[in-house]
Chain A
Amino acid sequence: MQTLMNQFRLAIARFTPGRAVVAAMLLGLVAGALLAFGAVAAQEENVVTIDNFTFTAPELTVAVGTTVKWVNHDDIPHNVVNKDKLFRSKALDTDDSYSFTFASAGTYDYFCGLHPHMQGKIIVK
């Protein structure tokens, strides 16, 4: 996304625009803004929500270096515990959240330490 925007800025610099070109570029800006908005939304997708004793999405694939955030929407506390003990949140009361940054590739199984039938998985590529 960032690259696209940069190319767009280069395009602005390169030409002396006529009226039609300006219009086209404005359209391009709108398109760029929409794309940028899409990127923000993609970041929001690195959130795992907890509703009804369920991690959603139960399986999430992210890039190395991504920070995943868990948010508890239940009115019962939960926590997030990695099976291999790499990460473990404190108890998350209603609307509390916990974040962990995945520095290396791999598959990370996790569960709720209070209600271990609740399970999820982060795949880092």
Chain B
Amino acid sequence: MANEGPDDRKKGLGRREVLECMVWAGTGVLWTITGGVPHSVGLIGEAAAAEPAKGFTFLQMSDSHIGFDKAANPDALGTLREAVAKVKSMPTKPTFIIHTGDITHLSKPAEFDNADKVFGETGLQTHWVPGEHDIIDEERGKAYLERYGKGSKGAGWYSFDDHGVHFIGLVNVVDLKGGGLGNLGAEQLAWLEADLKDKSASTPIVVFSHIPLYVLYKDWGWGTEDGQRALDLLKRFGSVTVLNGHIHQLAQKVEGNMTFHTALSTAFPQPAPGSAPSPGPMVVPADQLRTKLGLSTVTVMQGNKPLAIIDKTLA
């Protein structure tokens, strides 16, 4: 997968990958980074057996919507707890969690308190970026930044390095323009350019934000207005993995050295693009809900191997 050209995007996912995604849809994505390029490697159990503890694993969790209690899931905190229980029982302890936003539903202090409590139970460090639901307090994002903004710039963007991988958390939910999509803004793009300047092209990059960086479905605002400018800055790197949330369903694509992945929510599913009158919460039969919620596990292998993502449902 590392050397796939632009034409490969037409191929989409192979049957095996699709099946794997289906199986894991709902709990999360298991990402394995091997040599910097992400790919799906199968069930978490299989992955662990096939790739014994040489690399490191992290989790992507998203769209917890703590406080959501409507028909699509009357107990979003409960399903988050189920997801966290799965994290705690993983045979290979992940190194950390990346949360791709919408931690809370309404940015209320009690919702953030519950987030601290429940994610704290994992014993893992969590790297956050805000979703639009996390900055709707009266002071428009102050509550989020007070809790999670330490060491970040602007509305909460930052980068860090772990196991030779450069991780970048971007914020694309602030200062949105009427008729527009997600927004990074000039200041953040300038910061990104400077952040990448001294990085060698062989450095594996994982970039994460709430709203998908590329335009996945414009009619529902599923994309980032100036996301392409960020992707252009990342083009020279041999391995770029883009992790997003917001759409509460799995979507993957590969373009050259870039792999895009959106994670499942732990709160409620949303409809496939254009399949419903609006992107609002999708009500499914109660016994099917957990097949549509989940998290992702990403495993990064040392050496010249691709990164692997596995999505796991709560079912």
Using a CB–CB cutoff of 8 Å, the interface residues on chain A facing chain B are: 52-54, 74-77, 79, 81, 83, 90-91, 93-94, 109-111, 113-117, 119
Contacts and interface: CB of A to CB of B under 8 A. Distances in A.
Contact of A111 (B105, B178, B218): B178
B18 interface: no
A74 B148 CA distance: 29
29 contacts: A52-B280, A53-B278, A75-B70, A75-B71, A75-B72, A75-B280, A75-B281, A77-B133, A77-B136, A79-B136, A81-B178, A90-B138, A91-B107, A110-B178, A111-B177, A111-B178, A111-B179, A114-B133, A114-B136, A114-B176, A115-B132, A116-B178, A116-B179, A116-B181, A117-B181, A117-B218, A117-B221, A119-B178, A119-B179
B279 interface: yes
Contact of A116 (B70, B133, B221, B280): B221
B219 interface: yes
Interface SS of chain A: loop
Interface string B98-129: 00000001110000000000000000000000
B216 to A, nearest CB: 13
A53 B279 contact: yes
Contacts of B277: 52
Nearest to B177: A116
Given A53-B280, A116-B221, A77 B105 contact: yes
Contacts of B280: 52-53, 74-76
Given A53-B278, A74-B280, A93-B106, A117 B219 contact: yes
Contacts of B181: 116-117
A53 B132 CA distance: 15
B180 interface: yes
B220 interface: yes
Interface of B: 70-72, 105-107, 132-133, 136, 138, 176-181, 218-221, 277-281
A93 to B, nearest CB: 6
A110 B178 CA distance: 7
Contacts of A74: 278, 280
Given A54-B278, A117-B179, A117-B218, 5 more contacts: A76-B281, A83-B178, A114-B136, A115-B221, A117-B219
The 9 tightest CB contacts between A and B, nearest first, are A111-B178, A52-B278, A91-B136, A75-B70, A117-B221, A53-B278, A116-B176, A114-B132, A52-B277
Contacts of B71: 75
A69 B200 CA distance: 55
A65 B70 CA distance: 37
Contacts of B178: 81, 83, 109-111, 116, 119
A93 B68 CA distance: 10
A94 B70 contact: yes
A81 B279 CA distance: 20
B72, B176, B178, B179 — most chain A CB neighbours (10 Å): B178
B105, B132, B220 — most chain A CB neighbours (10 Å): B132
B106 A77 contact: yes
A96 B31 CA distance: 40
A93 B133 CA distance: 11
B5 to A, nearest CB: 33
A53, A94, A113 — most chain B CB neighbours (10 Å): A113
